[in-house]
Amino acid sequence: MSAPGTMTSPEAPRGVCLVGNTHVQAFRLVDEVLARVASLPTGGLLDGADGSVLGVGPGYVGVSVVPEAEDLPALVGVRWLRPTQAPMPLRYGDPATLGADRLAAAWGAWCLLGGPVLVVDAGTATTLSRVGAGGSFDGGAITLGVGATLQALADRGARLPLVSAALPAAGLATDTEAAIRLGVVGGHAHTIAGLAGEIAPGVPRVITGGSAALLHPLLPGFLHVPDLQARGALAWAFAL
């Protein structure tokens, strides 16, 4: 296995495509630096929206959690990374059920910091993944993400409004919107911190994903790396 940060490949990729449940993101490698160049709603792309703005194709590697998106015309030519090609040992019951997005973020964290390290990816789902000292994927936890939880409350609670994701006010909530933010956003941060202490006590912690910027102020000691999954996908491609 390569040491952290060591990457060699005969066919260096020139970009990364990330297909998540909520958004499709394109990153381009410019002077050895990854830059996000475009983002589209996944649902819109599946419904036929023009994806040419993404600018992806041959020379791009991709990580997808939405299999039906992989064959869309806008994504033709992307080389999809699969768990069976994982650049790290997998200590997981059935690797086929492990998302390539979790592996990309985990590998990115190990390339950045070495191990052991805990990776929190706060997206549609919030996942916690522990990487061992030697770069192994050791497992973790999955729960519903902040945005999806807020939507679920509004959908299933007859008198509960859909509240925007924002930091909760300090102290006891005295109206419904504040109470929802305290319970969902504040509670989510407590869940992450509690699980982190249980499955990776004393281990460096990294947070990434769409809700990471929101949650980061509530999680002291966590390093926020917005493009961790894209970095990991690129490093994964170089490791093949």
- 3-class state of residue 26 by DSSP: strand
- Token pair of 88, please? 């790290």
Q: 120, 102, 111: which is closest to 213 by C-alpha?
A: 120
Q: Residue 151 phi/psi, 5° resolution?
A: -65, -40
Q: Are 88 and 135 in contact (CB under 8 A)?
A: yes
Q: 132, 123, 99, 105: which is closest to 200 by C-alpha?
A: 132
| Catalytic residue, candidates 47, 71, 101, 175 | 101
Residue 117, strand partner residues: 131
**CA 138-66-76 angle, 5° bins:** 115
Beta pairing, strands 79-80 & 117-122 = unpaired
DSSP character for 13?
Answer: -
| 101 is annotated as an active-site residue | yes
* Cβ neighbourhood burial of 165 (10 Å; 0-12, 13-18, 19+): middle
**214-239: burial string, b at 16+ Cβ within 10 Å, e else:** bbbebbeebbbbebbbbbbbbbbbbb
Catalytic residue annotation: 101
